[in-house]
Structure 1
């Protein structure tokens, strides 16, 4: 009975860590969606304000991504405790922000927009991985 209780506790810890990581990834995704919208506006000639708003959302996404990375690391550790080993690697590049700010033209705006889109795709993929792992954990609990 002790092993079953211990196993359930490990699964509960993994579930809690996964839910926290998923919440953080969803916040990153929301910020990237906003940045994407402002990026389109910026490419269509939105000017300084749209560029500032876009970069504000990119900054928010980057800050939350650091939190998400930490939470994903914790989640991966908890998954190892219950013998699950998913591979979740995500990253947001920083050079694009610098290039767009100082080389504000359609080429750099397009480059930043493509980086936002790639980052958003990676975050959405990570969300899918976390959701799948959470589903498997919940199945293990039953």
Structure 2
């Protein structure tokens, strides 16, 4: 909602408004941005109402769990006690139960690490998306600049590149976290953001078609590299999601077998 309202404010007054007037589409863009801001506010109001209901549901569930919790803990304690008794016995089930316990511990750890990596991947994907949005804006301004946009488009372009450069630092930190979490799942990778060229001196003193084209090519190259990195992150997230589902299914089967061993027919 805040982002949509900022878009409206920029078109009501500022550099974006000046550019829109020059292009002759300010009123149309302003009407669209205002409509999008209204929709965003309505969505926020809807989510707030939903949050209120969910919080009420959570309080009701917590109250119910408080009643059931002692029985659940007692049951878990009895199962653990029975498992220890069985492990100390000479029954044939004891060996299988011991092996199953080791496998269950390993799979449970892998489930947790896979989920942590998946969440870190989501953070990296979102951070890269921010960088790409700024680069898209810079590329659009650069396209106009190549065809004689002038100083206003130069200023807008460099503002977006500066924002992309700042966002790239946040994206690199998110990628570092993702790489650390992936290492826990057995995937060793080094993820490095491409450098965003924010040079202003050359553009200011050598503003001509040749430098404009070279600048546009630099932006396109950086954008392509970020897109490639974002695509790898998305594909890795998809793999982690599928692998997490497999691990959860495996853990469920192990827990079922554990119950069978503790409660023989």
Q: What SS is found at the alignment partner of 2:150? A: helix
Counterpart selection for 1:90 from 193, 197, 212: 193
C-alpha contact 1:21 1:72 (8 A) present in aligned 2: yes
- The CA deviation string for residues 79-130 of structure 1, in whole angstroms up to 9 with x for no partner, is 0110113453331243644422332221221111111000010011001110
Of the structure 1 ranges 70-79 and 81-90, higher mean CA displacement relative to structure 2 is found in: 81-90
- The CA deviation string for residues 14-71 of structure 1, in whole angstroms up to 9 with x for no partner, is 1111101100111111111110000011111111111010001111111111111111
CA–CA distance in 2 between the matches of 1:27 and 1:57? 11
Match of 2:205 in 1: 102
CA separation of 1:124 and 1:67: change in aligned 2, threshold 3 A: same
Instruction: Give 5+ residue unaligned stretches, structure 1.
Output: none
2:122 is equivalent to residue 25 of structure 1: no
Higher RCO (CA 8 Å, separation ≥ 6 residues): 1
Aligned-pair Cα RMSD in Å? 1.5
Q: CA deviation at 1:6?
A: 1.7
Match of 1:5 in 2: 108
Match of 1:51 in 2: 154
TM-score, normalised with respect to structure 2: 0.51
When Rg is computed on C-alpha atoms for both structures, the one with the higher figure is 2
Match of 2:21 in 1: none
Number of residue pairs matched by the alignment: 142
CA–CA distance in 1 between the matches of 2:222 and 2:148? 23
Match of 2:118 in 1: 15
CA separation of 1:48 and 1:84: change in aligned 2, threshold 3 A: same
Instruction: Give 5+ residue unaligned stretches, structure 2.
Output: 1-103, 246-265
